[in-house]
Amino acid sequence: MTPARIEELRDFYLRELTEDTIPFWITHGLDREHGGLLDFLDREGRPVSTDKGGWIQGRFTWVLSRLIEAYGTEARSEWREAAKSCADFVRDKVLAGPGGRAYFELTREGKPLVLRRYLFSETFAIIGLAQYAKASGDPGYLRKALETLEVFYSNRGKLAPKIDPLTRSLRGHSETMILINVHQELRDVLMQDDPVAAAGQTSRIDAQIEELFRYFVKPERRVLLETVNYDGSMAEGLEGTCVNPGHAIETAWFLMEEGRWRGDLALVERALPLLEWSLERGWDREQGGLFSFVDLEGRTPAQVEWDMKYWWPHCEATYACLLAWALTGQARWERWFETLHAYTWSRFPDPVHGEWFGYLRRDGSVANDYKGNHYKGAFHVPRFELYAGLLLDAIAARGRGFDALSGPDVLRRLAKGNP
Amino acid sequence: MTPARIEELRDFYLRELTEDTIPFWITHGLDREHGGLLDFLDREGRPVSTDKGGWIQGRFTWVLSRLIEAYGTEARSEWREAAKSCADFVRDKVLAGPGGRAYFELTREGKPLVLRRYLFSETFAIIGLAQYAKASGDPGYLRKALETLEVFYSNRGKLAPKIDPLTRSLRGHSETMILINVHQELRDVLMQDDPVAAAGQTSRIDAQIEELFRYFVKPERRVLLETVNYDGSMAEGLEGTCVNPGHAIETAWFLMEEGRWRGDLALVERALPLLEWSLERGWDREQGGLFSFVDLEGRTPAQVEWDMKYWWPHCEATYACLLAWALTGQARWERWFETLHAYTWSRFPDPVHGEWFGYLRRDGSVANDYKGNHYKGAFHVPRFELYAGLLLDAIAARGRGFDALSGPDVLRRLAKGNP
């Protein structure tokens, strides 16, 4: 990649982020009456439901807080106002569940609608509030994040699973992967004022990485599995052979970021096969794009929508390939990045009303033109744009390669804002 | 429709039923070791999971019992063996849940995997065991069906709903519609030996029909809604405007059958608009077939797979139009029947390995080529083929028209077996 291409891409990603994605959500989604974000928006940005997803409140808080940090003194006041609105909605409404649990769905006013038997809403609240503590300088949000972490661990493994555990005990990859990210975010916030607590996060990341490779990664099958038996053996039926390429790729770049932060190239190299296998299995050689699900044995997956192209795996994969190229210099990752970048940006953005479509048919045509629902909201797209922009900016400033790009502080701010 | 066309169609439907659908499932699905039906079969009929769906055990018991009744002395011994195997699996394994509840998913051996907070598994167990009592002559199965009916009613409205009822109380159309069918099936079995109990079923059907028209049918909007607020007003967001054409059509023909059984033409005429509205909204004018979901306001439905063509709405709609034509003689229903018959039989059957594909993309191409999963199994297709065959046979024997085709005993047996 030439320096000119790197700068062109950096400017492109940051412009898309700050001129399209963030303004779309703040203009159409921010609830100026009740706080938080209206996430169920149609193509033009009009709410088709005023119910609020619990996930996105924490996730958008996180996005805005990271954005504010990256832009430093150049951060816009509307980003700060929106971040406070979402953070307070998380603290006061989302986390008002029994025992401090997080609701998955709420009314516009914040009354509880759905409490799930999974703990993902909690994890997004944690990363949002923790980063907002840094963005706002108010440690009260960090305390609430850490309290919610305790809620997470005290409930983990204790909520009634869907499948009777006396008959069959399973492990899901999702909880392991999300914990890696949760502890990375907490460490990032704790690092400056509480090095002991920050080190504790690193230990917990180690435990999750160990779990990941022990149970879910099967090098002999070239796969990271979504669901395994409790002992790590293959689970029954199509659930046991289900591969979610986007999910595995997201885990791969969490690991690459961890290796980069630690200055541990070996960890980066453990992550690369997960990316490679997932692209091998997940890429649609006939029509381009990543399948949503594939089967380890090459059979049709159980999910009837398996061949649809979802927006988020394309965010994860494009960033993962950019990062792999930046850290290793291997030309194949640059080629994959350019392939993914071209597919993604030619298919998902809405040229008329801005932001992205989320759900394409196999052939790339738009199946559902909403800009948000309780899964797609202001998270994967802006995180991708911000992280790609920050990484490209770091490369432009420091050069490519593991040594130039590793260490805890490399990515914190855009170079231009922090000479 | 000419007499020759009626006989041709009758022979076609009954041949598909007895030479393709039923043999496919008995050959590939019947579990000769543990009893019951393996329902998760690939295109060729090989199990891709040996877990068993709870729904299909009761449903296939029902199909086989109705088939045995229809063919009388010509019923094949393998149908009887399969019916007993499934009925016993329902009684001994599916209904072994807490307090007599039914499991939604079990292992091959019948160990519990999933117990849901909905009562549909119970309803399919009830209709299966009740009809098997008649097919086998063993009243023990009817007693178990009636006990399970009590389990249903004692749990109805008491299982924790997904949405917090203190914030929002909703009604779903599914429970109302399935109860109409459950009580129809029980009445059919109770009719000969216990006229008082049979009359009790009719009262309960009346109550459900009243509920249906009071809460879910909105003539001013030309729609039957899936979900409404507890008082019948429009529910929030896309859930409130969700239309499931296949579901509404299934309800329409349950009502038409009820009108026909009672000799009540007015009830048939109340049902016809539900069919008409659903075809108007649900038919894909560009590429043919019925959408899985549409939105009352013409927006994109929330379901990302909304435009896929599923097998079961095509079964329900084709039969509903045949029945509407048979009872009213209106030419538009004949035209709709021929349109649906042509679309359905040219797209869904697998010409190589038999039985039907379940899930097509909008353009009619096959998205998922499995013959069964825990939703698609040996139910909608054989029920459709049997009911269409019986109706066409009754028309061939007695002529078309409400008077010729109404009354409790018209459909019970194929004319040729019961001169």
Which chain B residue has its CA at the smallest distance from A369's CA?
B300
Asked if ipTM goes beyond 0.90, one says yes
The tens digit of pLDDT for each residue in A90-111 reads: 999 999 999 999 999 999 999 9
- Within 165-184 of B, beta carbons closer than 8 Å to A belong to 166-168
Residue A294 C-alpha, separation from nearest chain B C-alpha, in angstroms: 12
Which chain B residue has its CA at the smallest distance from A52's CA?
B237
User: In a mutagenesis test of the A interface, which of B94, B164, B170, B311 is the best target, namely the one with the most A β-carbons within 10 Å?
Assistant: B164
The reply to whether residue A163 touches residue B239, judged by beta carbons under 8 angstroms, is no
The reply to whether residue A168 touches residue B370, judged by beta carbons under 8 angstroms, is no
The reply to whether residue A111 touches residue B362, judged by beta carbons under 8 angstroms, is no
The tens digit of pLDDT for each residue in B48-95 reads: 999 999 999 999 999 999 999 999 999 999 999 999 999 999 999 999
Number of CB atoms found within 10 A of residue A329's CB? 12
The tens digit of pLDDT for each residue in B232-269 reads: 999 999 999 999 999 999 999 999 999 999 999 999 99
Counted across chains A and B, CB pairs separated by less than 8 A come out at: 103
C-alpha separations of B74 from B9, B77, B188, B258, B403 in Å: 20, 9, 21, 28, 28
Residue A232 C-alpha, separation from nearest chain B C-alpha, in angstroms: 18
Query: Cβ of B287 under 8 Å from any chain A Cβ?
Result: no
Which residues lie below 8 Å from residue B336, measured CB to CB, with a gap of 6+? B279, B317, B321, B324
Residue B227 has pLDDT above 50, yes or no: yes
A369 contact residues in B (CB cutoff 8 A): 300
Query: Cβ of A262 under 8 Å from any chain B Cβ?
Result: no
The tens digit of pLDDT for each residue in B271-320 reads: 999 999 999 999 999 999 999 999 999 999 999 999 999 999 999 999 99
Q: What is the pLDDT of residue B160?
A: 87
Question: Confidence class of residue B417 from pLDDT cuts 50, 70 and 90?
Answer: very low
**Residue count (chain B):** 419
Query: For residue B151, which of B98, B197, B109, B75 has the smallest C-alpha distance?
Result: B98
Q: What is the DSSP string of A27-72?
A: HHTB-TTT-SB---B-TTS-BS---EEHHHHHHHHHHHHHHHHHHG
Residue A169 C-alpha, separation from nearest chain B C-alpha, in angstroms: 10
A236 contact residues in B (CB cutoff 8 A): 49-51, 107
Q: Which residue has the tokens 């299934």?
A: B250
Residue B240 C-alpha, separation from nearest chain A C-alpha, in angstroms: 10
The tens digit of pLDDT for each residue in B151-162 reads: 999 999 899 889
Query: Cβ of A191 under 8 Å from any chain B Cβ?
Result: no
Which chain B residue has its CA at the smallest distance from A107's CA?
B167
Closest CB from A48, A163, A308 relative to B114: A163
Task: Spell out the per-residue pLDDT of chain A, length 419, in tens.
Answer: 999 999 999 999 999 999 999 999 999 999 999 999 999 999 999 999 999 999 999 999 999 999 999 999 999 999 999 999 999 999 999 999 999 999 999 999 999 999 999 999 999 999 999 999 999 999 999 999 999 999 999 999 899 889 999 999 999 999 999 999 999 999 999 998 999 999 999 999 999 999 999 999 999 999 999 999 999 999 999 999 999 999 999 999 999 999 999 999 999 999 999 999 999 999 999 999 999 999 999 999 999 999 999 999 999 999 999 999 999 999 999 999 999 999 999 999 999 999 999 999 999 999 999 999 988 999 999 999 999 999 999 999 999 999 999 988 776 677 654 43
The reply to whether residue A362 touches residue B361, judged by beta carbons under 8 angstroms, is yes
Backbone angles phi, psi at A360, to 5 degrees: -105, 155
Q: What is the DSSP string of A153-182?
A: HHHTTTSPPSS-TTT--EEEHHHHHHHHHH
The reply to whether residue B50 touches residue A107, judged by beta carbons under 8 angstroms, is no
Q: What is the pLDDT of residue B411?
A: 65
Spell out a b/e string for A143-181, using b for 16 or more CB atoms within 10 Å of the CB, else e.
ebbbebbebbeebeeeeeeebbeeebebbbbbbbbbbbb
Half-sphere exposure in the Cβ direction for B248 (13 Å, CA):
32
Q: What whole-number distance in Å separates Cα of residue B238 and Cα of residue B298?
A: 11
Query: Cβ of B40 under 8 Å from any chain A Cβ?
Result: yes
Query: Cβ of A250 under 8 Å from any chain B Cβ?
Result: no
Q: What is the pLDDT of residue A160?
A: 86
As to burial, measured by CB atoms within 10 angstroms (0-12 exposed, 13-18 middle, 19+ buried), residue A358 is: buried
B168 contact residues in A (CB cutoff 8 A): 107, 113
Q: What is the pLDDT of residue B414?
A: 77
Q: What is the pLDDT of residue A418?
A: 47
Query: For residue A290, which of A275, A302, A269 has the smallest C-alpha distance?
Result: A275
Closest CB from A113, A300, A370 relative to B164: A113
Q: What angle do CA B351, B39, A166 make, to 5 degrees?
A: 160
pTM above 0.80, yes or no: yes
Q: What is the pLDDT of residue B419?
A: 38
Q: What token pair was written down for A332?
A: 């194949």
Residue B130 C-alpha, separation from nearest chain A C-alpha, in angstroms: 29
Q: Which residue has the tokens 């990375």?
A: A184
Q: What whole-number distance in Å separates Cα of residue B250 and Cα of residue B247?
A: 5
Closest CB from B163, B237, B361 relative to A49: B237
- Within 315-354 of A, beta carbons closer than 8 Å to B belong to none
The reply to whether residue B361 touches residue A359, judged by beta carbons under 8 angstroms, is no
**Residue count (chain A):** 419
Query: For residue B116, which of B159, B172, B147, B177 has the smallest C-alpha distance?
Result: B159
Query: Is the Cβ–Cβ distance between A408 and A63 less than 8 Å?
Result: no
C-alpha separations of A269 from A181, A213, A310, A410 in Å: 18, 13, 27, 20
The reply to whether residue B113 touches residue A167, judged by beta carbons under 8 angstroms, is yes
Residue B418 has pLDDT above 90, yes or no: no
Query: Cβ of A40 under 8 Å from any chain B Cβ?
Result: yes
A49 contact residues in B (CB cutoff 8 A): 236-239
Helix, strand or coil for residue A274?
helix
What is the residue type of B224? L
Q: What is the pLDDT of residue A419?
A: 38
Residue B312 C-alpha, separation from nearest chain A C-alpha, in angstroms: 14
Query: Cβ of A164 under 8 Å from any chain B Cβ?
Result: yes
The reply to whether residue A300 touches residue B42, judged by beta carbons under 8 angstroms, is yes
A368 contact residues in B (CB cutoff 8 A): 300-301, 304, 306
Q: What token pair was written down for B6?
A: 């009626």
Closest CB from B114, B168, B304 relative to A162: B114
The reply to whether residue A238 touches residue B49, judged by beta carbons under 8 angstroms, is yes
Residue B334 has pLDDT above 50, yes or no: yes
Q: Which residue has the tokens 């969490």?
A: A254
The reply to whether residue B306 touches residue A368, judged by beta carbons under 8 angstroms, is yes
A300 contact residues in B (CB cutoff 8 A): 42, 368-370
Which chain A residue has its CA at the smallest distance from B357's CA?
A304
Query: Cβ of B193 under 8 Å from any chain A Cβ?
Result: no
User: In a mutagenesis test of the A interface, which of B300, B303, B353, B357 is the best target, namely the one with the most A β-carbons within 10 Å?
Assistant: B300
Query: Cβ of A118 under 8 Å from any chain B Cβ?
Result: no
B299 contact residues in A (CB cutoff 8 A): 42, 48
Q: What whole-number distance in Å separates Cα of residue A274 and Cα of residue A259?
A: 14
Q: Which stretch of B166-180, B358-372, B395-409 has the lowest confidence by average pLDDT?
A: B395-409
Query: Cβ of B276 under 8 Å from any chain A Cβ?
Result: no
The reply to whether residue A304 touches residue B302, judged by beta carbons under 8 angstroms, is no
Q: What token pair was written down for B32?
A: 């000769």
Which chain A residue has its CA at the smallest distance from B43's CA?
A300
Q: What whole-number distance in Å separates Cα of residue B165 and Cα of residue A207?
A: 40
The reply to whether residue A304 touches residue B307, judged by beta carbons under 8 angstroms, is no
Closest CB from B113, B166, B300 relative to A163: B113
Query: Is the Cβ–Cβ distance between A355 and A20 less than 8 Å?
Result: yes
Closest CB from B166, B237, B361 relative to A40: B237
Q: What whole-number distance in Å separates Cα of residue A245 and Cα of residue A251?
A: 10
